[in-house]
A and B are shown apart, each in its own frame.
Chain A
Amino acid sequence: MALFTPNLSFNTFTYNSSLFTLPATRRRFIRCPRSLKLRASLAVDSPSTSATGRGGAAELLLEVKDLSAVITESKQPVLKGVNLTVREGEVHAVMGKNGSGKSTFVKVLVGHPDYEITGGSITYKGQDLLEMEPEERAVAGMFMSFQSPVEIPGVSNIDFLNMAYNARRRKLGQPELGPIEFYGYIAPKLELVNMKVDLLNRNVNEGFSGGEKKRNEILQLVVLGADLAILDEIDSGLDVDALRDVAKAVNGLLTPKNSVLMITHYLRLLEFIAPTYIHIMENGRIVKTGDISIAKVLEKEGYKAISGT
């Protein structure tokens, strides 16, 4: 099957590339997943010739080079040279065994203090991401949905969202919204994630069920918007209906401009949110990159079939 090594740059496969005869918007993939395979093989067969220098090429959004990181406290290495490039409009999925470093990787991207960068670089929108505070990354359009979102007793969900929303408005030089205006803005968004209004007045994640927590993360994504949405196991603990709601909300946000990086263990999520690329992570590195077919092999035969080279 079509497999890439991670350090191959993906700058060739863009929707706009004239090489692709199939219309390659993502919504297309959702409707007919089979086209993905075709498109991917097309891409493999046609190495970088056209995209370079083309005005229509999607912009580079995130570029991770040889990233290594350790756990701050124990200095134990977790990431050992990760390379990844995400362009505008792309959907990337990272898969891998438990403990392979997937979650660490995305936490490092958003600046989690539990990890310390020991080497490599991350460029986001042309800026050195490692120089940015976590809140600066967030207002610059990076959004991570947490695998297990923390409960914050005493802070209501709507106040929290309002604070976060206003932080972004400030950054954009727009006037902040008061609680009443904000309620008007947020109320229609609840439907998008099929969430009840009363969850807004409850404390952030406090006493939420697993599904409610995930929906709440996606609500935040919908409200705040994101140029790069990072979804850390958004599918774990969700039933099929909830998963469909979440996927619908995520798909609804996708435009040719913004991108998704998601971590998952299951093919199921990828059926709802079609990835442009799938990366397999092993022992702190991305060891394979390819299309949906990798996930299918995984599903059938497990990581053994893919690990190594």
Chain B
Amino acid sequence: MLTAHSVAISIVSSIIHPPPTALTSQSISSCLPKLIPGSKTRRRTEKARVFTQSPTLAVLSDPHVLLLAETLEDSLQSSSSAPLPPLQKLRDISAQSLLLTPWPSRKDEPFRFTDTSFIKNSHIEPISPSKSRSLASLPVLSDTLLPLNVTILDGYVVDSLSQLSELPDGVFVGGLSSITSEATMKRVSECVPNFQGDLFWLLNGVGAPDIIVIYVPEGCRVESPLHLKYFSLKGSEKDSKTLPISNPRVLVLVEKGGEIGIVEEYTGVDGTDMCYWANSVMEIVIGNGAKVSHSYIQTQSLGAAHIKWTSVRQESTSIYELTEVSTGGKLSRHNLHVQQVGPETVTELSTFHLSIGDQIQDLHSKLVLDHPRGVSRQLHKCIVAHSLGQAVFDGNVQVNRDAQQTDAGQLTRSLLLKPRATVNVKPNLQIIADDVKCSHGAAISDLEDDQLFYFQARGIDIEAARKALIISFAAEVIGRFPNTSVQKKVEGLIRKLLDPTIPSG
């Protein structure tokens, strides 16, 4: 029963929201004693570093953040060649911003319900690329769900485990250094970065070893979806308070009229309780009339931290479709930012989060509409099936002054299956344009009694009925994966998680 759950909901709708309470430089300098950056007392190398350059700024910095940024930077210094211009630009921009970015606390609106102290209190260890291990022997890596695939181990692309031979001409998939076309490199430079996010986005910018580029030229349709298989091989024992970090970064650039399907899948390999931190960023730029359908599956180990950014820029009449299923991680957060940069865009977001254990599943989505006649549909569903489980949804839709005749719909549904299971939902629409059609809805419940009774009335016992209804709740989102083998795989996975006794598949 609903009343048995402790439900914390805050629903803010159709209002203009105050900006998050970010600390400005004035306020912090006037009320805080001068901080001495932690880096100052640490070992120095003769190489010039961003983090030691400007002491005036450093004064305002969060020593914990600086330390972490330095660690990441150190780990990359060891690699021989100088980074290519787009990566260098990304690192510089990120490093500059990090100086002013404190570690988020529960007092910051975007982190009000999401406690990141699990990461903050852990020792963060950058992972260097694995060399000698015979990787192909890992059975999980030889899984080829789709003919086009790229394996990314701990943030590094492994060419020997990737299959790209069926890519159409002109389509490029690979690291920056493999780009041979000058024109492509130029486009990449223009597009990186397309956005600036929070602390985690910036840490990825500093720590990413490379930018994995997916480039689809004008008018090119890639028929088969491209499977990005992210594995976290390196992990620490539970309670070791150490998190090996990986910072995979991908840029998807689809030119005018192009079309591609991307399947991102994040998995941990060894055991289910390994601890690590995957801090991933994907930037997507969709040209005029182009289309990206993005499938995102997150099944990390239950000891992992998984922070993911997806930032999308949509030019006119482009289509972006996201289907997400996230079940893994102790702390999992997806920050999704979609920016409309031309009229008549179509954006469809369908997401399903499952908290089966003591874990947080968080979706922070923001959709900014600045041009007329955009259409957006968002469906977010989550199930919390553990009394220590938590789900968070903050879904912001901004319909700005020029976005007339926008048609924006948002719906979120949450199922709480255990006493004390928690969900925090904050759907919020900010509408400034006056000629728009916007809708939103939020429902939090146990299973519907009427539906349960219908099963019973046909002779199906209540436990079997509950299982069928829980699976069906998730099936609405799973059914939206465009690829049927992906659909089947995820459905089997969800069945297994919700009831280990149901045979998967």
Partner of A152, one of B459, B472, B479: B472
Residues 457-490 of chain B: 1 if any A CB is under 8 Å from the residue's CB, otherwise 0?
Answer: 1111110100011011111100100000000000
Stretch at the interface among B210-218, B233-241, B447-455: B447-455
Most buried by B among A139, A153, A154, A159: A154
Q: How far is the CA of A127 from the CA of B419 in the complex (A)?
A: 36
A144 in contact with B472 (CB, 8 Å): no
B-binding segment of A8-16, A160-168, A301-309: A160-168
Given contacts A113-B449, A150-B451, A163-B464, contact A138 B472 (CB under 8 A): no
Interface 1/0s, chain A 72-115, versus B by CB < 8 A?
00000000000000000000000000000000000000111100
Indicate if the CB atoms of B471 and A154 lie closer than 8 Å.
Answer: yes
* B450–A138 touching, CB < 8 Å: no
Let me know if B460 and A153 touch, CB within 8 A. Answer: no
Contact at A167–B461, with CB atoms within 8 Å?
Answer: yes
Q: Which B residues lie within 8 Å of A139 (CB)? A: 459
The distance in angstroms between the C-alpha atoms of A152 and B451, with both chains bound, is: 7
For the complex formed, measure the closest distance between the CB of A145 and the CB atoms of chain B, giving whole angstroms: 10
Q: Is the CB of A164 within 8 A of B476?
A: no
B459 touches A160 (CB 8 A): no
Question: Chain A nearest CB: distance from B476 CB in Å?
Answer: 5
Q: Does B144 contact A (CB under 8 A)?
A: no
A149 at the interface (CB under 8 A from B): yes
B456 touches A152 (CB 8 A): no
Are the CB atoms of A152 and B453 closer together than 8 Å? Answer: no
Across the two chains, which residue of chain B brings its CB closest to A154? B472
Set of chain A residues within 8 Å of B456, measured between Cβ atoms: 111, 133-135, 138
Contacts A113-B449, A134-B453, A150-B454 given; does A224 touch B472 at CB 8 Å? no
A264: Cβ under 8 A from any B Cβ: no
Which of A110, A154, A171 has a CB less than 8 Å from the CB of B475? Answer: A154
Q: Across the interface, name the chain A residue whose C-beta is closest to B476.
A: A154
Main DSSP-derived SS at the B contact region: helix
Which residue in A150, A153, A167, A171 is a CB contact (below 8 Å) of B472?
Answer: A153
Contact between chains at A164 and B472 (CB < 8 Å): no
A167 and B458 within 8 A (CB): yes
Contact B458 A164 (CB under 8 A): yes
CA distance A109 to B337 in the complex (A): 53
Residues of A within 8 A of B450 (CB): 150
Provide the residues of chain B in CB contact with A150, threshold 8 Å. Answer: 448, 450-451, 454
A155 contacts chain B at the CB level, 8 A cutoff: yes
Q: Report A255-295 residues with CB < 8 Å from chain B CB.
A: none
**A146 near B: Cβ within 8 Å?**
yes
**Cα separation A133 to B455 with both chains bound (whole Å):** 12
Q: Are B476 and A168 in contact (CB under 8 A)?
A: no
Contacts of A152 in B (CB 8 A): 451, 454, 469, 472
Say which residue of A111, A144, A163, A168 sits within 8 Å of B468 (CB atoms): A163
Closest residue of chain A to B475 (Cβ to Cβ) is A154
| Distance between B74 CB and nearest chain A CB, rounded to angstroms | 50
In contact, A155 and B469 (Cβ under 8 angstroms): yes
Q: Is the CB of A155 within 8 A of B472?
A: yes
Q: Which of A112, A163, A220 has the most CB of B within 10 A?
A: A163
**Choice from B459, B469, B475, B476 contacting A167 with Cβ under 8 Å:** B459
Out of A111, A112, A138, which one reaches B458, CB within 8 Å?
A138
**What are the residues of chain A within 8 A of B479 when measuring CB–CB?**
154
User: Which residue of chain B has its CB nearest to the CB of A136?
Assistant: B459
- Output the residue of A110, A149, A150 with the most chain B CB within 10 A: A150
CB distance from B443 to the nearest CB of A (A): 13
* Cβ contacts under 8 Å, B475 to chain A: 153-155
> Is the Cβ of B476 less than 8 Å from the Cβ of A224?
no
B476:A144 contact, CB within 8 angstroms: no
**What residues of B have a CB within 8 angstroms of the CB of A203 in the complex?**
472
Chain B residues with Cβ under 8 A from A110's Cβ? 457
Rounded to whole angstroms, the CA-CA distance of A135 and B471 in the bound complex is 20
Contacts of A159 in B (CB 8 A): 468
CA distance A155 to B479 in the complex (A): 11
Of chain B, the residue at the smallest CB distance from A204 is B454
Q: How far is the CA of A69 from the CA of B460 in the complex (A)?
A: 25
Contact between chains at A135 and B461 (CB < 8 Å): yes
Q: A135 contacts B459, CB within 8 Å?
A: yes
* B474: chain A residues within 8 A (beta carbon): 154
* Residues in A neighbouring B457, C-beta threshold 8 A: 110-111, 134-135, 138, 144, 146
Cβ contact within 8 Å between B454 and A135: no
Residues of B within 8 A of A153 (CB): 472, 475-476
> Closest chain B residue to A203 by CB distance?
B472
Question: Across the interface, do A135 and B462 meet the contact criterion of CB distance under 8 Å?
Answer: yes
CB–CB A171/B459 < 8 A:
yes
Decide: B454 and A220 in contact? CB cutoff 8 A.
no
* Residues on A with beta carbons closer than 8 Å to the beta carbon of B460: 135, 163-164, 167
- In whole angstroms, how far apart are the Cα atoms of A159 and B451 in the complex? 15
The docked-state distance in angstroms from the alpha carbon of A144 to that of B457 is: 7
- What separation, in Å, do the CA atoms of A203 and B453 have in the docked complex? 17
Pairwise interchain contact B458-A220, C-beta atoms closer than 8 A: yes
- Asked if A112 and B459 sit within 8 Å, CB to CB, the answer is no
B406 to chain A, nearest CB (A): 27
A224 & B459 in contact (Cβ 8 Å cutoff): yes
B496 CB to nearest chain A CB (Å): 17
* Residues of chain B with a CB closer than 8 A to A171's CB: 459
Which residues of B, 410-460, contact A by the 8 Å Cβ criterion?
Answer: 448-451, 453-460
A299 to B428, CA, bound (A): 55
Is the pair B451, A224 in contact by a Cβ cutoff of 8 Å?
no
Q: Give Cα A154–Cα B475 distance, bound, in whole angstroms.
A: 5
**Whole-angstrom CA separation of A95 from B55 in the bound complex:** 88
Among A234-259, those with CB < 8 Å from B are: none
Please report the C-alpha to C-alpha distance between residue A135 and residue B466 in the assembled complex, in whole angstroms.
13
For A144, list chain B residues within 8 Å (CB): 457
Q: Within 8 Å CB of A163, what residues of B?
A: 455, 458, 460, 464, 468
How far apart are the CA atoms of A150 and B452 in the complex, in Å?
A: 10
Q: How far is the CA of A96 from the CA of B461 in the complex (A)?
A: 33
User: Judging by beta carbons under 8 Å apart, are B472 and A112 in contact?
Assistant: no
Task: Write out the residue numbers on chain B whose beta carbons fall within 8 Å of the beta carbon of A155.
Answer: 468-469, 471-472, 475
Known A152-B472, A153-B472, A155-B469; further 15 A-B contacts with Cβ < 8 A: A111-B456, A113-B449, A113-B453, A133-B462, A135-B456, A135-B457, A138-B458, A152-B469, A153-B476, A155-B471, A160-B458, A164-B455, A164-B459, A164-B460, A203-B472
What are 6 A-B pairs with beta-carbon distances under 8 A? Answer: A133-B461, A134-B457, A135-B459, A152-B469, A164-B455, A224-B458
7 smallest beta-carbon distances between A and B, as pairs: A154-B472, A138-B459, A154-B475, A164-B458, A134-B456, A167-B459, A139-B459
